[in-house]
Structure 1
Amino acid sequence: MTDDVGERLRSLRKLRGISQRELAKQCGVTHSSLSLIEQGKVSPSVSSLKKILNAFAISVGDFFTMDLDNQEQIFYSPEDLVDIGSGGITLKLVGANRPNRGLAFMIEHYPPGTDTGQEMISHYGEEAGVVLEGEIELTVGSSVRRLIPGESYYFKTNIPHRFRNIGDVDCKIVSCASPSKAF
């Protein structure tokens, strides 16, 4: 357990899934002050710390005694997502920092002309997703289909597969795969 106020505050904020700007707005402290506190460059006054902690509905005593190191993050802001994509494809993994993740939940972004590679992918598990924007050509084994917004897929990932944006607009997909160790 850390005794550093800034580090504890950052851990609590991330655990609750709140951005610095959101927290600053909620508690009436400037974003720059909050940033400096989290970086350990300034120490907040007791009254400032109380204002900040009121946004979390936590007392000063609880703030210093709660074990933030062993709690798993529940909420994630966009900057918390880890990009595991390559080749122009963005694969934002939700909960990458969670130990023993049981699934891989991703927000996928395929610019026009991008694909997962000439070589088909295969790994143990299952994958499902829904197209939110644009179009994607999905090949699973010998089956090929062009999916549009609202359409979805579900397949066993030991079957070789490939994603390819053959359209002229970006494609966004929300997907889930298991086991998480595939990603």
Structure 2
Amino acid sequence: MADRPTQGPAGDFTTDTALGARIREYRMVRRMSLRALAEAAPVSPGFLSQLERGQANASIGTLRRIAGALGITVAHLFDQDSAPGPRVTRRADRPMLHAAPGSRKTLISHPPFRHVEVYAGEFDPGASTGDDAYTHGDSQEILLVISGAVRLELDGRAHDLEAGDSIEYRTSVPHRVANIHDTAAEILWIISPPTPA
């Protein structure tokens, strides 16, 4: 089937075989079944199958839901230049994520996350991930201290870690990171498999 015209983001709908193929590729990278993505979006499995084959139109709102369920943005679905292979990200170019005052959290791994997601965290003296412990999914997480020292509160128990130390735990266990020292600290979070977006 020939590609159909694609309207821009301001349009009501868009579809083509290349877009459908990218949706399928991202779904396969996330190891999601057609039914699992359809439930997460939410759309019908039949519609999603047709969309992946370039045989159905999708509203921008639907594409936003599909992209969100895949852990990517709508822009990723339209990026024809994205291809697997080495991708260099300079420290200054890392995407900055929302973080508590006195801390910075940047994304190191590139979406769509395949088998692992990696974040860097920087904490000024006295800074933390927030007042409350948090959870996200149920994956394996490793926290590695790159420089300085931090305290990881894991299910109410404190673990003091210095440069070179690491700790492994489940993301479903309430956790919180705090820098209780007088010097800045830098850490890495390594999560596998990636937690839901």
Q: Shorter chain as normaliser: what TM range?
A: 0.5 to 0.7
Q: Aligned residue pairs: how many?
A: 116
Partner in structure 1 of residue 157 of structure 2: 143
Aligned 8 A contact 2:152 2:160 in 1? yes
TM (normalized to structure 1)?
0.57
Partner in structure 2 of residue 117 of structure 1: 130
Q: Please, which runs of 5 or more residues in structure 1 have no aligned partner?
A: 1-67
Q: Tell me the distance in 1 between the aligned counterparts of 2:146 and 2:92.
A: 21
Distance 1:70 1:133, change over 3 A: closer
Aligned 8 A contact 2:150 2:180 in 1? yes
Q: Secondary structure at the match of 2:168?
A: strand
Tell me how far 1:104 sits from its aligned partner: 1.6
Residue 105 of structure 2 is aligned to residue 91 of structure 1: yes
Tell me how far 1:99 sits from its aligned partner: 2.3
Tell me how far 1:143 sits from its aligned partner: 2.1
Deviations 1:4-36 (A, max 9, x none): xxxxxxxxxxxxxxxxxxxxxxxxxxxxxxxxx
Tell me how far 1:90 sits from its aligned partner: 1.1
Q: Which of structure 1's runs of 4+ aligned residues deviate more than 6 A?
A: none
Identical residues among aligned pairs (%): 24
Residue 167 (structure 2) aligned to one of 127, 130, 153: 153
Q: Secondary structure at the match of 2:121?
A: strand
Alignment of 1:1-183 (within 5 A): 69-72=81-84, 74-87=87-100, 88-96=102-110, 98-124=111-137, 125-182=139-196
Tell me how far 1:100 sits from its aligned partner: 4.2
Q: Please, which runs of 5 or more residues in structure 2 have no aligned partner?
A: 1-79
Tell me how far 1:118 sits from its aligned partner: 1.6
Tell me how far 1:84 sits from its aligned partner: 1.1
Tell me how far 1:182 sits from its aligned partner: 4.7
Distance 1:95 1:142, change over 3 A: closer
Distance 1:89 1:153, change over 3 A: same
Aligned 8 A contact 1:81 1:95 in 2? no
Aligned 8 A contact 2:136 2:195 in 1? no
RMSD over aligned Cα, in angstroms?
A: 2.2
Q: Tell me the distance in 2 between the aligned counterparts of 1:138 and 1:95.
A: 23
Aligned 8 A contact 2:126 2:180 in 1? yes
Distance 1:166 1:182, change over 3 A: farther
Distance 1:135 1:100, change over 3 A: closer
Q: Which has the larger radius of gyration?
A: 1
